[in-house]
Every structure is written in structure tokens, then in C-alpha cells.
Structure 1
Amino acid sequence: MWAGSNGGRLFDPTGRPTLTEKPIIEMLEFFKEVSDCCLAPDWLSHGYLDTFAMLATGKVASILGWGRGTGYFEKYAADVVAAGDIGVMPGKPVGPSGNAFLTQLDCEPWMIFKDGKNPQGAIDFLKFFYQPDNYRKYIQNGTQIYFFPIRKSVQNDPKYLATPDLGTWKFWVDAQKNIIGNHDPKPLFVTEWDDLDLPFLQEVASSGIMVEMVTDVVEGRMSAADAAAKAQKRTEKLITQLGYKKW
């Protein structure tokens, strides 16, 4: 997300990592600057709920949060919610090497394995699941603001628009709709749509290499350039070990 917002990407067209390129270095330097000037000294130890709690209790002015936090705000910061003092930014920062922001879309990626025991059963389930009434009930009985419907017919359905949480949080849903419609959000670790053809994204994402690259910088263990070079080497090695090296 931050790499893309600074005009960069994580992999070149051959699948080789691009972690030592200027947009990534600038991104890491930005993280270090923000960590030093504006974040609590122990921010790396904050858990998921801690993030929402700090906004709800007024300890921070903004967070990188999600619509599934609305119930938490209603429970622990009812007066703030009632006053309309929680909002959603319409975009993300753009870095010095970027032209437009890139943001992440969790979306609803279903995968059917062709060698599974019953792939046709999976197909039939998804057809049933996405029938408008079934899908709407799933949205309304789940995390109503976080589960933005991907079906346009459901987005405009009066029954969906009567969802109780939309009375308070419709602005959050509208922000999601605007970004999906106008700003081309992408899944995690994807800065260009052809990144989806890379067979190793999940392995790289779960390896911890990117996390360590960032923490090496913000905790002052390494310069941005050195941390990026270390992560570049480790990621190239991982992709090679997986048998996917093509550069």
C-alpha cells in the first residue's frame, strides 16, 4: 500500500523483488520519521484492539483502522460517536515519488482447488451464497460496515440500505464505495494487477521479512538502505528456494 502510494512496487515483471529501489527506501525513511516524531514509544507492541482503544480514549488523533471497529467505538466511546467526532479520510498520503495513492482491498477472494474432492460443490455453494437475499443476510448479520457488499445490486437494495448500522456509519460505507469505484484498490502485497500471477505472494507475506525490514529501520538497528538490502537478499533467497525464480 505505502510502496504503491510512493510510485513503487514490490516485484518487477519477472517476479524479482524491488526492495532496494528509491520508492521503498523513501517509504522506510518515512516510517522512521513518523515513528520518531509522532508515535508512542511502545507502538510496535500495540495489539489490534489497542489501536482502536487509543482512538476511542483520545490518546491518538488518527489510526489505520477498519469498519469492523465501529462496535468497539460505540461501546467505549459512545459520546464521541454521538457527537459525530469519528470520521474516515477519503484517501491515503502520496509519497514524493508517487502520483496517486494506493490502498488495500480485502475483497472476497474465494479459491476453488481443481484437484479438490468436490469442486462442483464449491461452485454450487458460491452460486447459492451470492444470491442477493442470501448475500445481503450475510452482510447484515456480520460486521455490517466492514462487509461492504461487492454486488452492486445489493449495494442499491433498499433492504440493504435499511441495515441498522448505516444510520450511524453510512459515511464509512460511502468512503469504501468511492475508493472502490474511483481509486482501483488492490489486494495485500499487490501494487500492479499482474502481481496476482506471482505464485509466491502468500509465502513472502507470511515470512516476516517485510515486517523485520520495517522494524529494523524504525527501531534504529539499520539504515533504510541497509534494511532494504537485507530484505531484498532474503526475499530473493525465499523465492529461489520455492522454485519460482525467473530473473
Structure 2
Amino acid sequence: DVYGLGLAGPGFFINEEVYMWVGSNGGRLFDPNGRPTLTEKPVIEMLEFFKEVSDCCLAPDWLSHGYLDTFAMLATGKVASILGWGRGTGYFEKYAPDVVAAGDIGVMPGKPVGPSGNAFLTQLDCEPWMIFKDGKNPQGAIDFLKFFYQPDNYRKYIQTVPIHFFPIRKSVQKDPKYLATPDLGTWKFWVDAQKNIIGNHDPKPLFITEWDDLDLPFVQEVASSGIMVEMVTDVVEGRLSAADSAAKAQKRTEKLITQLGYKKW
């Protein structure tokens, strides 16, 4: 059988889909006071959509598929599309060199927008470095970053995974040595798509649907709790309706935030 879409089943990737699809449906995961918004319409519609996609377009065992499995499945014609990032281009070159040579693999310039949304949200794998002021050697960290971001050093780093690592330094983007990276000969369209989205479509880090969510001190704990993953799997596997699963996840997330001492609503 050939399926319309391949998704990775591990929880981290479901987390990605949750916040991107909620954001693309005009919603957010937390209100301005930090209270979860999981029972709101955009989240309910996202869960209903997840169930619809799972039933119509994903392999029955998709929850067991790893991320790189999806690349292999696309390369070998088992799925028609995937949600993937540029670090997997080597799989296409390994498993489907003829398809790559023919130019038959492409990247969509955007993502679907839900019925309650007006713009899509996608993920930004950025370069967030943090130096702790009370660390043992903060100056050493500063010196390392100065060394790391020297043009030649940074370019060599980007070139280790050139289709996944988009250079944040504009000078490197224009550097002839970077532009001569062999992989760009085949996959430059993928890098160009990243540049367009970063420049025009406001991508955001994991679980951040609004930029002020970065001020919430518990986002990582919620992301790693598994609550959002169970909210999705309860729906796609038919254990709960979208509304009931969202209500369950709402209570669990509120409880977690309260236990962490961060409740402000």
C-alpha cells in the first residue's frame, strides 16, 4: 500500500505537530497568564484533524515509525509526502538516487492553514546559546562563542549538515565558499525555502505559538511530560473524543504547572 503522508511516531515529533498545527489554526497553547488553552476551539479542531489524517492518510502502524523511517518510506515510494527537515537528504540520495537525479523530490513553500487560522506556523530550529551569569567560567563561554562565530569556523560548522543548518549570519549566506558547498548544487531549493520562511513567515521554536511564551518558565516541563502526546494518541487510537481528550490534558497540564509553582491565573 502507498499512503498519502508519513509521520514519525515518537513523542517529540507529535509535540512538534501539536504546536505547529494549533498555531496554524489560529490558536496557542497558553494564554497570557500561562494557563493552558487546550479546551479552546483551535486545539479541538487540531485533534479532530489529527484523527482524520490518521484514519485516511497514515499507515496503521505510523506510531511505530521513527523519523528516519519516514524518509526511507518516501524515498522508496511507500508514502507520497512527509513532514521532514533537511538533515535527511542523505537518505534520499542513498535509497532513491534516480528520483533525486530526476528532480522529483520537492519542498512545499508553506503548510496548511486550519479552519480557524489565517497563517501557518512552522518550527524554527534556531541557535539559542545561554551563558549562566553564576557559572564557573562565563568568560570562557563568551570566548568560545566569539571563536565559534568567526566566519570561517561558523561556515565549516554549517557545512557539516548544510541543508539542515541554515546560516544565521548574512555574511555567511553570501560567502562564495558557503555557496560552493557541493550539497547546494542538488538541494539549494530546500535552503531557499528555509530562507523564505524565516524572512516572511515568522517560524517559532518548539511549543512557542506566541513569542511571549518564551517568558513562561515551564514550557520544557510541559513538553517533556508526555501530556500532549497522550492527548493526541487517545484521539487517534479512538480511546477518547477530541473534546474529552483535550479536557483531560487541560487538567493534567494545569496540575503540572501548579505543582511546579508557576500557576498565575
Question: Could you tell me the TM-score, scaled by structure 2's length?
Answer: 0.92
Per-residue CA deviation, residues 93-130 of structure 1 (Å, 9 max, x unaligned), is 00000000010101111111222111111111111101
Distance 2:247 2:181 in 1: 49
Match of 1:181 in 2: 199
Residue 163 of structure 1: how far off its partner (Å): 0.6
Match of 2:14 in 1: none
Q: Secondary structure at the match of 1:68?
A: helix
For structure 2, the 5+ residue unaligned runs are 1-19
Percent same amino acid at aligned positions? 95
Distance 1:85 1:68 in 2: 18
Distance 1:120 1:17 in 2: 38
Match of 1:244 in 2: 262
For structure 1, the 5+ residue unaligned runs are none
Residue 159 of structure 1: how far off its partner (Å): 1.0
Per-residue CA deviation, residues 200-230 of structure 1 (Å, 9 max, x unaligned), is 1110111110000000000000000000000
Per-residue CA deviation, residues 13-51 of structure 1 (Å, 9 max, x unaligned), is 000000000000000000000101111100011012211
One of 99, 123, 129 as aligned partner of 2:142: 123
Per-residue CA deviation, residues 50-105 of structure 1 (Å, 9 max, x unaligned), is 11111010000000001000011101110110010100000010000000001010
Q: Secondary structure at the match of 2:182?
A: coil
Residue 232 of structure 1: how far off its partner (Å): 0.4
Question: Could you tell me the TM-score, scaled by structure 1's length?
Answer: 0.98
Please state if 1:133 is matched with 2:161.
no
Distance 2:32 2:97 in 1: 49
List structure 1 segments (4+ residues) > 3 angstroms apart after TM superposition. none
Distance 2:74 2:100 in 1: 11
